[in-house]
Amino acid sequence: MSPTAIFRLIYSFYLASFLWNFYLTLRQYNVYRKAETRPEEVSGIISKEDFETARNYNLDKMLFDFYEIAFGKTLTTIFQSVLFILLSSIIETMIELPFSFYETFYVGQKHGFNNETVPFFFQDRAKKFFLNLLISSTLVAAVVWIVHWGGQYFYIYVWAFVSAFIFLMMFIYPEFIAPLFDKYTPLPESELKTKIEALANQVEFPLKKIYVVEGFKRSSHSNAYFYGFLKNKRIVLYDTLLSEEMNEKLKQADQKTETETTTEDGNDTKTTKPETSEGETTAGIDLATNGDEQHKHSLGMTDDEIVAVLGHELGHWSEYHSMWMLIATELNIFVLLFVFGFLHRQPNLYLAFGFPASAQQPALIGILLVSQYVFAPYNELMSVAMNFVTRRFEFGADAFAARLGFVSQLCTGLVKLSRDNLSLPINDWLYSACNHSHPQILERLEALKKFK
């Protein structure tokens, strides 16, 4: 019998023992819990007061036994890892929250991007915190368990699990998680929708639905993207990308839907337009400041510019850019886990960072040490390499849209995106190489000249 088979056999016996003891403890706890009055058969050996005192003590002791059985033995490292994630998430959130608040309500507000209210800000961050905690804790607990279960080649099983988890999240996030934070509305029948559908047919993109996401509640930044597997693709447009006319159509559709609904007592539901105080940003409108002068300009794009930008996005699909990036991510994860497989049982690795040596090193700590510290030089080089690749992909997607006949529309659309997002088209080349995944706007416009 191989060492791996022996380990799995022993672990199976140990797990069965754990479940059995947990079951026995649960039964005993229920006995104590149900004995609210002293049974008659023990009246001769213990008083009522002593019985109540002993009952309360043993109930508390049994609860502690649950902890000892559940976390003190078999699942110790899993519990510690999840607890580590919980504490680190709380600390990270407490540190990040003031900076995020300042960035949103000072920097963003100052430059006309912020549309969040203070209650919305805290509600949104709270939802993100608990959702991230739930997902990360589940993932970490599963990974730690697989590390201890998988034997010598555990990294293969962890890689397979993480890969499956990534694919699952690619499906779950846009369908179930993203709508928890933002409102997604089908794009109304319009000339824009007709043009987008014609573009999809032209390049044989399997488009099923087109959504508009209510991004203006957060900021005035614009974006567009697609998602979905195989023959079930969806396109998402930020409302800040659309013209004022289209945003007005969306508002009217929402108001019509709300007006048709009634309250439980039979009264019509009233709808009111949100009040906008002086200096606030509304959908489709922004105030840009240049020195002491304020220039009011309309945000959003024309229909043709939006179609051109989507032509760029569909270029990523046509050239399989997303697939290549996913493959690169999977390979990177495998390399990380492969190296971790050799290092995680090395006591010197943990001792070097102040962790005590023990027979069973915490897997989560080992992964963090390898990924963040041992791999630090590798991560930097990979970041630069991935930026180089994604820049090539961006140029390729621009070329794809240009070949569809959208050269001038894409140029004006990119300029508007850069303007509306206050992108500064001047960068240090080394900083840009290490930090920017997209080429500068001037580089993209220069590359598009050859298609004119």
| Residue 381 domain flag | yes
Residue 438 marked as a ligand binder: no
Which CA distances in Å does 395 have to 74, 172, 417? 53, 30, 16
Q: Which structure tokens are listed for 303?
A: 């229909």
| Residue 226 domain flag | no
Domain that holds residue 408: 307-451
- Catalytically active residues are 313, 398
| Residue 282 domain flag | no
| Residue 65 domain flag | yes
Q: Which DSSP category does 434 fall into?
A: H
| Residue 241 domain flag | no
Q: At which residue do the structure tokens 């799995």 appear?
A: 8
Look up the pTM and report it. 0.65
Domain boundary among 74, 93, 120: 74
Transcribe 311-358 into DSSP letters: HHHHHHHHTTHHHHHHHHHHHHHHHHHHHHHHHTT-HHHHHHTTPPP-
Rounded to whole angstroms, the Cα distance separating 72 from 63 reads: 13
Pairing of strands 207-213, 285-290: unpaired
The edge-to-edge listing of strands for the beta sheet with 207-213 is 184-186, 207-213, 233-238, 224-227
| Residue 404 domain flag | yes
3-class DSSP assignment, residue 47: coil
| Residue 127 domain flag | no
Residue 344 marked as a ligand binder: no
Residue 295 marked as a ligand binder: no
Residue by residue, pLDDT tens for the chain (452 residues) are 444 443 444 445 556 666 776 777 788 778 778 887 887 766 666 777 777 877 777 777 667 666 655 555 544 555 555 566 566 667 777 777 787 777 777 766 666 666 677 777 788 788 888 888 788 878 888 888 888 787 788 889 999 999 999 888 888 888 888 888 888 888 888 899 999 999 999 999 999 899 888 866 666 667 888 888 777 889 998 888 887 777 677 777 666 655 655 444 444 433 333 333 333 332 332 333 333 333 334 567 889 999 999 999 999 999 999 999 999 999 999 998 888 888 777 777 777 666 666 656 677 777 777 777 777 778 878 888 998 999 999 999 999 999 999 999 999 888 888 777 666 666 677 777 777 889 888 889 889 998 87
Alpha carbon 297 to its chain's center: 33
Length of the chain measured in residues: 452
Domain boundary among 74, 94, 124: 74
Domain boundary among 9, 44, 74: 74
Domain count for the chain: 2
| Residue 351 domain flag | yes
